[in-house]
Amino acid sequence: MKIKQKLFFLTTIVLFICLQVGSQESFAPSGLSVNMLSNPDALFLNGYKVSTPLHEAVTQKENFQFTEISTHKPFFGWVISSKKQNTRQTAYRLLVASDQTILRNDSGNFWDSGKVNSSYSSNIFYNGNQLEPGKVYFWKVRLWDHNDRESEFSGFSSFKMSDTLTDYATDRYPIQKLDEHPATINQTAVHNYIADFGKASFGRIRINLFSDSGTDTVTVHLGEAQKKGRVDRAPGGTIRYSQYKIKPDKGWNTYLVTIRPDKRNSGTQAVLMPEYIGEVTPFRYCEIENYRFPLEIKDLIRESAFYPFSDSDSYFHCSDTVLNSVWDISKYSIKATSFTGVYIDGDRERIPYEADALINQLSHYCVARDYSMARYTHEYLIHRPTWPTEWIMQSVLIAWEDYMYTGNKRSLEQYYDDLKAKTLAALSDEKGFISTRTGKVTPEVLASIHFKGQLRDIVDWPHTGILGLEKEEGGETDGFVFTDVNTVVNAYHYRALTLMARIAETLGKEADQKNFSQRAARLKKSFNQILFDSSRGVYIDGIGTEHASLHANMFPLAFGLVEEKNEKSVLEFIRSRKMACSVYGAQFLVDAIYDKHDAVYGLELLTSTSERSWYNMIRVGSTITLEAWDNRYKPNQDWNHPWGAAPANLIPRKLMGIEPLEPGFRKLRIKPQPSTLEHAEIKHPTILGDVIVSFNNKPNESFLLEVTIPANSNADIYLPFFSKKQKIEQDNQPVSYQRKGDFSVIENVGSGKWVFTVER
């Protein structure tokens, strides 16, 4: 054989081998987590990330903030990287070692699980030698798939044990700082400048200043709002403004403006800032007054504080520019308001409330792959409940969402008795109704829910005639008439009972499961017999009044109390009341609307540009969601309230339709309800990996849906139903489906990327 022929032959063989190797997808696990922390080796110095390896940092004398694991038996998780269709894990092998060298040799001197036949890739509990306090450990994992293919080992991950270990705790990251320069600086007068950072955040300011005499006085104004090109000195409500004086020394110096504590948000009930971060204030604008030298962008640095957050974990974009803006402000609000590491109600009080926490929790799950802040806040509130009757019961709702999104039942087990008490079943009468006005709120009941105060029904907030509201505004309760038996309170009670029954079933507590199910059934029967006005087709506010409010109808609809025959009239009434609720109530209003498939009205609410809309928050000048729709509806409101960020979860959960059907996203539903929206694409993080959904929509003509389902999961896919003659394909092949109302449903679609089309 000639040399050229030999070379050609060898080249062909090499190319063939390379192509074969390239086609063998590497599916080594990634996204390793410990105790639900995706970056357990995260290390900070005074809030700033450092590059020092964790195992070296423990030997250095620096003011490091460690991410610490505080449980004797941590639990592990990972993401299966395979993009192939229908990929499932069938086994894993997990190694834990005290030294990287040991791990490199594919050995674990603290735990070698061996090959464990299991499909679970999250909530894998440690079962090795006792881990020592304060020590750093290394781990990695490999897996086998349904074809018995063995993966490579994952990369290393490390974690540091806390100095004190316990059987149960929810671990968290330290608070992080990020240095940001202004987006713009403009000179407003001869010696005055205003810097705009583009968005507000919680932080403080560092300034490089020069003085040729050392006798100058520079005034610094920080604020969330601007007026006529200056920082607004009197923005009203609890919109933040503050002023500081600096007397620069001669020459160049850097000055850190330390923030004065606010008496209210640094009180006994408030969540305080850690010393390594220092006090912060929310501001977008920084105005420098009486500075006689040029001021450049590099001379101003905002130290922004937040709970570690990856902006790349999620995205959303669609053909509606208003909806894009609403998503952007809502997602950013979850990050910006995380600065204490606990979900707080805004800067005015910095106190966690259950109602805020539920909206925060759902939104955080949808925009970032983090579950620790939500769980910590929930458990914080177990022993620090707030005064509204309904919000006591929201602890049960939060607990259930925690389980559905994480698949981890440790918190349910730890706080089971507390959750039982927080259903407020102790207040029920023979018909199943509960009331805080009939003498049943005893000291024993209050002790069982860890509350030292007086329970009061809230419905929505604020109420009429408080906080400076004018009579014509009427509060945010749609004229709700409070009676002894409150419809909204009992709708919450029903929801708490149904979820408590499911929690009891999850934990194998059969007697409790039966008890809560029976209580829920009895209440539902009484609720519809007594509180539903069949002549008008609506629910009244309570026993003893004929008044029917938006709230008395949207909460029963959202919580599954409305009988099917009455759904139409209840929906008609809800539409007639429009947005007659607060930004808190809007969470449940839009939930109810989409759950009953009124996508047209749902999209109308999400994209509204009226005064009572999410877009109005942008229009008034805020970059973080407001506490109320506008200042006129809550005169003391703040401009940094994450309960106004409900679209961060409503868009993924309801419009795009991504929700867990089984705990830990082992199974999910993808049920987009686009209405007239032409196009949308979303990336939704889950504990198993990313769910990606996009659609192109021509209403009543065609619909194209592309989905990516993470490995180890499967989904029920909902497509529009056009007619019996419609054509549905999955990856260009005809596919069978079931009709469910206005949807064509394809069940149990496996992992990987799929394309579905519907043609009329």
Q: Report the CATH number at residue 95.
A: 2.60.40.10
Burial degree of 510 (CB within 10 A; 0-12, 13-18, 19+): exposed
Give the separation between CA 444 and CA 108, rounded to whole angstroms. 51
- Same domain for 277 and 377, yes or no, is no
Look at residue 25 in the predicted model and tell me its pLDDT: 63
In a domain, 328, yes or no: yes
Residue identified by tokens 């440690």 is: 126
Q: Say what percent of the chain tops pLDDT 70.
A: 96
Token output for 12: 């062909």
Residues 100 and 83 in one domain: yes
Instruction: Specify the pLDDT at position 472.
Output: 62
Res. 470 pLDDT band, cuts 50 70 90? low
pLDDT in tens, 109-165: 999 999 999 999 999 999 999 999 999 999 999 999 999 999 999 999 999 999 999
Domain final residue pick, 562, 577, 592: 577
Among the residues of 578-637, which ranges form H helices? 583-595, 599-606, 614-619
Mean pLDDT (the chain, rounded): 95
Establish if 739 belongs to a structural domain: yes
Residues 493 and 597 in one domain: no
Residue 27 has pLDDT above 90, yes or no: no
With cut-offs at 50, 70 and 90, classify the pLDDT of residue 465.
confident
pLDDT above 50 for 15 = no
The pLDDT of residue 467: 73
Question: Cβ neighbours of residue 606 under 8 Å, at least 6 residues apart?
Answer: 323, 326, 590, 614, 647, 650, 651, 655
438 with 554, same domain: the answer is yes
Nearest to 626 by CA among 308, 175, 284, 237: 237
Mean per-residue pLDDT, 6-29: 51
CB contact at 8 A, 93 and 116: yes
Q: Which two tokens stand for residue 612?
A: 């009572």
Locate all alpha helices (DSSP H) within 239-388, ordered by sequence.
Answer: 321-336, 354-367, 372-382
300, 353: one domain: no
402-454: pLDDT as tens digits: 999 999 999 999 999 999 999 999 999 999 999 999 999 999 999 999 999 99
Given a cut of 50, whether residue 10 has pLDDT beyond it is: no
For residues 491 and 541, membership in a common domain is answered with yes
Query: Does 390 reside within a domain?
Result: yes
598 within a domain of the structure (yes/no) = yes
444 and 409, same domain (yes or no) = yes
pLDDT given for residue 83 in this prediction:
84
What confidence score (pLDDT) does residue 5 get? 52
Q: Are residues 736 and 682 in the same domain?
A: yes
Q: Do the domain assignments include residue 661? A: no
Read off the pLDDT of residues 281-329 as tens digits, 9 standing for 90 and up: 999 999 999 999 999 999 999 999 999 999 999 999 999 999 999 999 9
At 605 the pLDDT is: 98
At 16 the pLDDT is: 41
Alpha helix locations (H) across 614-682? Answer: 614-619, 647-650
- Judgement on whether residues 406 and 553 belong to the same structural domain of the protein: yes
Q: Examine the fold and report which residue of 623, 655, 687 is the final residue of a domain before the chain moves on.
A: 655
pLDDT in tens, 569-612: 999 999 999 999 999 999 999 999 999 999 999 999 999 999 99
pLDDT surpassing 60 at residue 8: no
Q: Is residue 642 assigned to a domain?
A: yes
Dump pLDDT digits (tens) for 88-102. 999 999 999 999 999
Distance between alpha carbon 97 and the CA centroid of its chain, in Å?
34
Among 388, 269, 390, 284, smallest CA distance to 340 is for 269
**248: in domain:** yes
**How many domains, the chain?**
5
Residue linked to tokens 């609890």: 238
Read off the pLDDT of residues 385-404 as tens digits, 9 standing for 90 and up.
999 999 999 999 999 999 99
Whether the CA torsion 715, 720, 721, 727 is positive or negative: it is negative
DSSP code per residue over 340-358: TSS--S-TTT----HHHHH
In the predicted structure, residue 534 carries a pLDDT above the cut 80 = yes
Instruction: Calculate Rg over the CA atoms of the chain.
Output: 28
Q: Are residues 459 and 590 in the same domain?
A: no
SS3 at position 653: helix
Residue 717 dihedral angles phi and psi, to the nearest 5°: -105, 125
State which residues form the domain around 133. Answer: 29-166
Domain identity same for 440 and 291:
no
**pLDDT at residue 3 tops 60:** no
pLDDT of residue 20: 41
What does the pLDDT read at residue 471?
60
Pairwise CA distance, residues 528 & 659, whole Å = 28
Task: Assess whether 204 and 242 both reside in one domain.
Answer: yes
Distances in whole angstroms, Cα of residue 498 to Cα of each of 268, 436, 515, 516: 35, 21, 10, 7
Query: What tens digit of pLDDT does each residue of 618-647 get?
Result: 999 999 999 999 999 999 999 999 999 999
User: DSSP code of 286?
Assistant: E
**257 CB-near residues (< 8 Å, 6+ apart):** 204, 205, 206, 207, 220, 222, 244, 246
Quote the CA–CA distance of 146 and 424 in Å, as a whole number.
46
Q: How far apart are CA 330 and CA 345, in angstroms?
A: 15
pLDDT higher than threshold 60 for residue 19: no
pLDDT beyond 70 at 170 = yes
pTM of whole model > 0.85? yes
Query: Which one, of 305, 303, 295, lies nearest residue 181 by Cα?
Result: 303
What CATH number is associated with residue 692?
Answer: 2.60.420.10
Last residue of a domain, one of 599, 623, 655: 655
Q: What is the CATH number of the domain that holds 547?
A: 1.50.10.10
Asked whether residue 662 is domain-assigned, the answer is: no
